[in-house]
Amino acid sequence: MTTQAKPSPRDRLLDAAARLAYLDGVGIGVEALCRTAGVSKRSMYQLFESKDELLAASLERLAPSFEARLLPGADDARSPRERILHVFEQVEAESASPAYRGCPYLAVQIELKDADHPASRVAHRIKQDLTAFFRTEAVRGGARDPELLARQLILVFDGVSARAGIRADDLAGLIAPTVAALLDAAGVA
């Protein structure tokens, strides 16, 4: 008989912060976080300096799975064009889920509006990493201006995430042609 260990209070807080911030926004209260995690406020403040630090840590913890869902693996031998399109195919697939609320990192940046907030700094770094992926693939694909293409692609990514997250548009069949047009214009074969 195997018994699974109950997640630690720290893990439960990180999970609750990630889930509640994604569903309800970063304005969630400490009471709600602690109630959801089954952890006392005293314990939360022993584990994290503040709710802000807890939110930042939850976003940091989420990053590997976020990147693994979106980005092709390092051993993926497809062309740079196909690797870029893969990211947008993943967003389109995820956006079809009723639970999809958009990119959690974009949402945090929009809600907080404070670039120095610990969670904003984490979100900014994750978004920079995604832009760097686009830039690397643009260089590999022979884009005329890889920096410009990377900026255009992150703009489309954020727009797609936001519009799908608020259910403002049915994006099926719209994303890939939009990205393909940018890739064509940039000279990425």
pLDDT tens digits, 155-186: 999 999 999 999 888 888 899 999 999 999 99
Please state, in angstroms and rounded to a whole number, the distance separating the CA atoms of residues 104 and 170: 19
pLDDT for residue 171: 84
Better-scored residue on pLDDT, 171 or 107: 107
pLDDT for residue 74: 87
Whether the CB-CB separation of 189 and 182 falls below 8 Å is answered with: no
Position of tokens 């990053």?
Answer: 63
For 2-41, write each residue's pLDDT tens digit.
Answer: 667 889 999 999 999 999 999 999 999 999 999 999 999 9
Better-scored residue on pLDDT, 131 or 6: 131
Predicted confidence (pLDDT) at residue 1 exceeds the cutoff of 70: no
pLDDT for residue 169: 82
pLDDT for residue 175: 94
Q: 62-66, 93-97, 148-152, 178-182: lowest mean pLDDT where?
A: 93-97
For 63-82, write each residue's pLDDT tens digit.
Answer: 999 999 999 998 999 999 99
pLDDT for residue 150: 98
Integer angstrom CA distances of residue 152 from 47, 58, 138, 156, 182: 40, 28, 11, 6, 8
Predicted confidence (pLDDT) at residue 98 exceeds the cutoff of 80: yes
Domain 52-186 matching CATH 1.10.240.10: the answer reads no
HSE-CB of 5 using CA atoms within 13 angstroms: 4
Q: Indicate the residue type of 187.
A: G
Distance of CA 65 to the CA centre of its chain: 9
pLDDT for residue 93: 93
